[in-house]
Structure formats: C-alpha cells, structure tokens
Chain A
Amino acid sequence: MSALNTLTLAAARDALRKGETTSVELTEACLKAIEGADALNAFVHKTPEIALERARAADARIAQGDAPAMCGLPIGIKDLFCTKGVPSQAASNILKGFLPEYESTVSQNLLDAGAVMLGKLNMDEFAMGSSNETSAYGNAVNPWRRGNDDTALTPGGSSGGSASAVAADLCLAATGTDTGGSIRQPAAFVGITGIKPTYGRCSRWGIVAFASSLDQAGPMTKDVRDAAIMLEAMCSSDPKDSTSTDLPVPNFEAMLTGDIRGKTIGIPKEYRMDGMPDEIEALWTRGAEMLKDAGAKIVDISLPHTKYALPAYYVIAPAEASSNLARYDGVRYGHRAKLAQGDGITEMYEKTRAEGFGKEVQRRVMVGTYVLSAGFYDAYYNRARKVRTLIKKDFEDVFAQGVDAILTPATPSAAFGLGEMQDADPVQMYLNDVFTVTVNLAGLPGIAVPAGLDRQGLPLGLQLIGRPWEEGDLLNTALALESAAGFVAKPAKWW
C-alpha cells in the first residue's frame, strides 16, 4: 500500500473495511504530513487531539461493523465553516479568536458520516479572492512549482488552503466553498477535483456567509469517485436553511459507470476569449475529443449573455457581502478596536472594521454599499439581477435543446506567482472567475477536473457544467473525462 496519506477516500475506505489499516494510522500519517508542511501554510488551526479521538471512535465503529460512508477518513475543513469549539475565523482578523458554539450542518453531516477532522484550512478572507493572498493568516502556497524555477505559486482562491492540502497529501480530502469559482479555480490550479453542487444541495447553515444567493459548499478531492463519496456525505435537506432543497440525496457513487454514450456535450462559443493562452484552448479541444471518443455527441452551443456575467457577479456578490458583513461590528464577538477617550459608537465601528477587515474585503463592502445606495440601485443591483435572469435562461435554453453537460476551461491560466498580481488592477484578479461565475449566477452544478499539464509542468483543469440537481450525471461525465485524460501527475515535494 502507498503511503497512507496519499490514498484516495475510496482506497482508504476499502482498506479500513478490509482491516488493512486503521483510522488512527491514517490520521497519524496525515498529521505527520501536516507537521512537515508548514511552508505550505495550508492548515491554519490544527486539531490533532480531536482528530485522534475521532479516529479511535471510528476504529471502534468499524470494528463493530457499523461504518458509515466516511468513517475514519481524515479530512480538512475550510476555515469558513463554523466548527464547534474550534477556531473559525474565515481567515479574517475581525473574527480573531472566535470559537463557535455550534457546528455547521455540512461539517456535522461529515462528522455523522464518521469523517475525522484534522484542522481548519486557509482561504482568502471571507472567501473574497482568487489567490489566497487576502488571508489574514498569510497565503497558502501551491505545492506545484514551474519546472524551471522556485517561484512560489498561488494555490488559487478562495479555497486555496483546501486545494494545497489535498494536492500535497496532507489530508485525503477537504471541504471548500464556491461563490464565484472558489472550489473549481483552486482545484484546477493544484490538479485535483472540485465540485460545486447545485445551489441548495448543501446547507449554508453555519458557513460564514459571503454572498448568500451564490455560496455553496462542495468537496475538493483527489479524484472524481472521491468527489461523489464526499458530496453525498455533505448534502442534506436542512430545515435550518430556507434555501436548502427538499430533494433526497442520491447515491452519487452508484451513478459512476463511466458510460457516457449518447450524452450530448455543449461547447459554448462565448467561452473562447480573446487572448486565451493556446495551451488552454488546446486542452479544451482535447477534452472535447476525449468525450467524443467516449461516445458523447459534441455540439456547439451559444450562451449569449456570458460576457455580462462577470460584471453582474461583481455587483451582486459585493452587494450581498456588504450586508452580510455588517454584523462584524465589534459589539458581540470577534475583534473590537481599542477606543480613545471620548470615542463613541461610530468610532468603535469605524476603527474596528478598519482594523479587522483587509483591503479586498473593504473594497467589496464599499462597492456593495455603493451599488445598493439610493439612486444607484436600479443602475447596478437591479440591472445585475436582470442579467442574472438572462444568464440562467441561456443555460435553460441549451439544456432544453438536449444538452446534458457543458465543457469549458476551468481557468484562463495556470497557477500564477504569488505577488504577481499585487500591483494589477483588481479587475485583473477578478478575471480569474470568468469561466466559473456563470455557474454560480445560474445556481448550477459545476466540476473542475485536472486534464493536463502546461509547458511549465503546471496542472490545467477543465470544467463541466451540469443540469440542476443532476450532480450524479455530471460526476459520471467527469469520470469519463478523468479516465480519458489519465492525469496522474503529482507535485514534486520541496516543502
């Protein structure tokens, strides 16, 4: 057996059931890998005692023949999830030291399925960012490097810590969240699989909110089968989240046949952007051919409102964020600024929020406040909502024409160097989301699958977009793509 921490969820699960290893051994292997990986800055709160206690409990359950789906499998949890008694601060100074008295529904579902939490994972502050550089903990680092230099690369964002940890085998899998691409872009940057399910599939209860109408949790895993296993464990109908679905959770793993004969895959012409690197374009074409070879029918489709998606997203998401983040005011929990004699409530708010929020969060709160303000609401927020409706309809139309899934690149580039975008216009950074935001605006499921390496040896991913609530079908198409692509590369260990 390979080193325990490098196993997939499926392989580890099977090994546990066969008695070939124990959860404690798996957990210890991961804890050891985490200890040696501080340079990646992926784990920001390590919980080895909790992990070992849960691993022992899992071993006892397995011994009794009572092993639920994720029993004994060590995973990492993104810092955006509130975990009872464990620091949960959304990588923000404003929530420094915040210890929730409750467990998010998704992490509770994973615990109930027997999963072992190793600790909390780095991310962009409040999930706002595409490079992990907005984190109050300092950024996580991509375990991959370009073949010819030692430049530290971004693991992507916002779920960059999750991506880095899974790619570097610090855990078998991790949770992520995705508001505009925050699972799929980092997954693509580190060569792993990440799925954002249909909006409403995973409960948002207990996940620190960024943009409520867009936020969805999802798994980040070493392969498609693992994504199916973990997604099933994460989903539920949750009466505590009014936007959560009533639909039953399917057995996603059972739907993985790899057979996609007769399926129709759409290639949207609007995703062919000016200045797109030819390597990405070539990968996209290759991906279409692989699916065709697997028996799918490839059709050209049009999603005419695509070009309005990014601006609409950067109105709607900040608008919701500006309101969602109003609660961080220093009154009840988290950071409160030291006040000078004579300071009143206004000074308390201003100083607390100026100290507690990083620059990118402040920028988005200001943008969001602006687009909702009197006189600008119709021009920005309302118009963006109309665009959103049109984008949703674009997808409905192609699905109505018989398209089962849509193939696009996951990102417009491979992982870039940390600090490289520092002086760029923030809009340059926002362009990272160009292929992914449409999926959030339309509430659809989308999955990023590693499909190849670029000239410099960095992973590149493709995205598949599915019909609403048909994650099982989407995962199956992703499995076909994964099998055809045969991506097995791993980063060379330098940390």
Chain B
Amino acid sequence: MLDLTYEPPKPKVIAGAKHDWELVIGMEIHAQVSSRAKLFSGASTEFGAEPNSNVAFVDAAMPGMLPVINEFCVEQAVRTGLGLKAEINLVSAFDRKNYFYPDLPQGYQISQLYHPIVGEGEVLVEMGPGVARLVRIERIHLEQDAGKSIHDMDPNMSFVDFNRTGVALMEIVSRPDIRGPEEAAAYVTKLRQILRYLGTCDGNMQNGNLRADVNVSVCRVGQYEKYQETQDFSHLGTRCEIKNMNSMRFIQQAIEYEARRQIAIVEAGGKVEQETRLYDPDKGETRSMRSKEEAHDYRYFPDPDLLPLEIEQAWVDGIAASMPELPDARKARYMADYGLTDYDANVLTAEVDTAAYFEAVAQGRDGKMAANWVLNELFGRLKKDNHELSDSPMSAAQLGTILDLIAKGDISGKIAKDLFEIVFTEGGDPAEIVESRGMKQVTDTGAIETAVDEVIAANPAQVEKAKANPKLAGWFVGQVMKATGGKANPAAVNEIVARKLGL
C-alpha cells in the first residue's frame, strides 16, 4: 500500500486596509447518529413522518418518565471515535444543559459536558495532491436533538413538532486548526465522508442531519504559530460563533464575511465582541444572535436519572475489529493496487456508494479500465440524464459484463460504447444483447482478409498513396471496419491491412 505523505496547505491570508490577516477556525459538527431509535427512547427516528407521531412519553417529558440509554447509539459513537483515531473513554457521563424553549420539552438537553465518550482524535483534510491539513479533534459527545418550532402556520400561534426531540446527535468538536473557508468546507466534507463510510451518520445536510457551528477569529500573520507553540489562546483574536449551518457553500461564505467583518472592526480600532451569530444566506452576512452578556447560563449538572456510562474494553475491541476500510486507506489501496491517479482515486472514494460500485466493477478485472469506464462513461451518462449513482439504470454487474466482453475480445471498445448505451437505456444482459443483435466482433482472420482484399481491390489509387505514406493505412482500416459494421477486431484489421499493403 502507498504511504501517502502530505505538506500542510498555506493559510488563507486576507489583506486588510492596514495589515494582512489570517483566519483561525474551529468547528462543532452536530451529526445525527444513524439509529432507528432515539438516544433515550424507543421512538422512531424516521425523517418526514407525520408531526408528533414519533414521540415516546419520555420524549414529551411527561411527568415521571425516565431516559434509558440506547446501546446502539453508544456503539455508533464509539465506532465514530475509532474512525477518527480517537481515544475512547470507558467511563463517560451525562449532564443536563438547562434552558427553556418550547421545542425542548424537558427544559434541559441531556448532553455530556464533563465526561464525553470520545476524547482526542484527528482528521486528515486533503486540499490537493500531496497537500493536507491535519485537524485535531478535541472530543465527541452524545446528546439529544431538540424538536422543531413552527412559527409560520398561524398568525397568532406557534406549533411544535417533537419527532426530532431526543434523536441522538454526536457533537464533534475540533481544535482551532482550520485556516480558511475552503479548508472548513473540506473538513466538513471529509468528516461527512468518514461518517458515511462508518455508517454512523447519513450526512444528509439538507435534512439537517449534519449541521455545523463555526468559530471564527482573525489574527495577524505569525500569531497563530505562537498559539501553536503554547496552546495559549491569548495569541489569537476574539472568536464569534456562527450557528447551525447546513450547506458547504454557506459555511464558506459565512466565514469569509465574518473574517472581513472582524478585520474591519479591529483595523478601525474597535474590539470584536465574543458572541453568537447567524448567517443570513439571502443577504450574505452574519448578524448577532446573542451577545456574551445575553448568553444562557445552562446550569449544567450531572443527570441524576442516568448512571455513569461504563463500557468494556473488550466491547470496544469488538467494534474495532468490525471497522470498515476508511477513505484514506481505500484511496491508497486504489492507487497501489489499480495504479489509479491521485485524482481518480479521490473521485472514486469520495462517496462510499461510488467506491462500492467501482469495486464491484473492478473485482477480478482490470482496475484501471474499470475506473475509466466508471468515471468517464458511467458518470458522464448519469450526468446527462441527471441521475445519481444510487438510481443508476446500470448495475455494477452489467458494466462488469461489458468489460468482460471487451477483455475476451468479443466486442471492440467502440462496439462496447454502443452496447453500453443499449444496456443503459434498455437494460438487459449485455452478453445476450451482443449475441442476439450480432454485435460480436469478427476475429475470423479469413473473413477479415476477404474484406481487406475487397477494399484494396476497389481503391487502387489509395493503395499507391498509402504505400508512399504509411499513415494513410488508417483509411483502409476505417473502410474495413465500415464494411464489417464495426464488428471486425481492430487489432486484426490493422495487422492484415499493414501486411497486405506491404508496409
């Protein structure tokens, strides 16, 4: 396997009116745990159900109801921790974060402030061939999601839907190691990719099951290195937190806007106030949600309804033993085993479904050829029809059979493209289609020789020209292919034409 080494990317520099500035970014990603039931109740987590249909008594905080931890959600958090090369805490604990809001029925969110289940880990974020940022993970903790308030159904009333209340989230907290808007988006992309490989989060940002809070500050060039040496935050600027973003594009826009806003304040002699802000994508700006003074006092304390969460090392080891191959390893394997380029390997491993499709096609075949067909023919054709791979009309088995037919010499590459189109639009077994439609390549040299003889006999002038200029032999090959309906084996035609012309 290839051992890939990376250089760190250059941080983004923004030129202010007076100085150059760098960005320092840390992120908190809220990833919904893939689980059929909620974190502390048996209610379903299905998306898009009738409002208030997936609500257990404990989700609605009925009097006397108690939470009971869903073991599968714990397993998913541990799996995620292992996937991020993180420390797994065998003892963790749940705390209550208290605040009032109608979509929070208990009046508190059960979270893990003091003792999270996962400790320090890391994510390698590639920014180009051989260039990557190593982002340190500070912690991952399990917590409950809130419900949904609906304010636009009635002029006088608000409504609330508790279906999402109590759904398990993993909050993945990074260190402030991200140095620009593109890196931030790449970090979320990479994290999402890993979670999807692990099967611990669907990563569907539109449905809100991956959301990001972004902490942004700016500093003068050179300050960040001082922070790195000392881990002393006083070398950095005051940060603002932009809450609840669920689009890669908005994340980048918000960071860019926020950095420029802070630079303008500092350069004008002002002070950035630590606060929580929201990004307004319509106006393309962030605005204050609440200042530090207005910040909630969450009155965290250990949840007395739940005992400390204790897990066994052997159980963790069992999860570790069943870990799937992760994107970095898979990419390295594709490059080493199939000789793919860095770029192609990246594209094929970006989505776990793509990688699975590719591997099914490549299995027992020429990997490089499989990659070409998946990347060029299949993706191009899917794009033309606005299809996703998930609803591809062509299965990996069908594409594999086409590749087999090429490899056996039954069809030429050109015929294969026709066959691809037929299978893509009409379906069916490629091998049968080749038989029934007479698409099989002619490898019978006798038949090809006859065809070549006929073309040579009919075009004496061209024969003379070709003898003078051997490059024109291609014209004869073309004529023979035309005469045989494209079914003649091109290699055999080439060879016979050259021989007969005496080239």
Contact = CB atoms under 8 A, between A and B. Distances in A.
Interface string A194-212: 0000000000111111011
Given A319-B301, A369-B299, A373-B299, A209 B57 contact: no
Contacts of B63: 82, 88, 90, 95, 98, 100, 208-209, 327
Interface stretch (A47-55, A182-190, A237-245, A262-270): A237-245
Contacts of B301: 319-320, 323, 372, 377, 381
B306 interface: yes
Contacts of B304: 211-213, 243, 320
A345 B67 CA distance: 27
Given A204-B64, A331-B102, A369-B299, A326 B306 contact: no
Interface in B86-145: 96, 98, 100-102, 105-108
A323 B68 contact: no
Interface residues of B, number: 30
Nearest to A206: B64
A323 B305 contact: no
Given A88-B63, A104-B64, A211-B304, 9 more contacts: A101-B62, A206-B64, A206-B65, A242-B66, A320-B301, A322-B98, A372-B301, A374-B299, A377-B299
Contacts of A205: 64-66
Interface residues of A, number: 43
Contacts of A308: none
Interface string B297-309: 1011100111100
Interface string A77-92: 0000110000010100
Interface in A208-266: 208-209, 211-213, 239-243
B61 interface: yes
A81 B64 CA distance: 8
B61 A332 contact: yes
Contacts of A90: 63
B160 interface: yes
B320 interface: no
B299 A100 contact: no
Given A333-B62, A373-B297, A326 B305 contact: no
B68 A239 contact: yes
Interface in B283-328: 297, 299-301, 304-307
Interface in B12-66: 57, 60-66
Interface of B: 57, 60-69, 96, 98, 100-102, 105-108, 158, 160, 297, 299-301, 304-307
Q: Which 7 A-B pairs have the closest CB atoms?
A: A326-B107, A213-B304, A372-B299, A212-B304, A327-B61, A206-B64, A208-B63
B98 A82 contact: no
A326 B62 contact: no
Contacts of B297: 373-374
Contacts of B300: 372
A205 B58 CA distance: 10
A475 B54 CA distance: 45
B106 A327 contact: yes
A104 B115 CA distance: 31
B143 to A, nearest CB: 16
A314 interface: no
Contacts of B101: 345
A102 B57 contact: yes
A323 B299 contact: yes
A100 B64 CA distance: 10
Contacts of A322: 98, 299
A471 interface: no
A207 B66 CA distance: 10
30 contacts: A88-B63, A95-B63, A101-B62, A102-B57, A206-B64, A207-B64, A209-B63, A209-B305, A211-B304, A212-B304, A212-B305, A241-B68, A242-B306, A243-B304, A322-B299, A323-B98, A323-B108, A323-B299, A325-B107, A326-B107, A327-B63, A327-B106, A329-B100, A332-B61, A345-B158, A372-B98, A372-B299, A372-B300, A373-B299, A374-B299
Interface string A324-351: 0111010111000000000001000100
A206 B136 CA distance: 44
Contacts of A372: 98, 299-301
Of A323, A372, A381, most B-chain CB atoms within 10 Å:
A323
Contacts of A212: 304-305
Contacts of A325: 107
Given A90-B63, A204-B64, A243 B307 contact: yes
A331 B100 CA distance: 11
B440 to A, nearest CB: 66
B296 to A, nearest CB: 10
A240 B65 CA distance: 9
Contacts of A331: 102, 105, 160
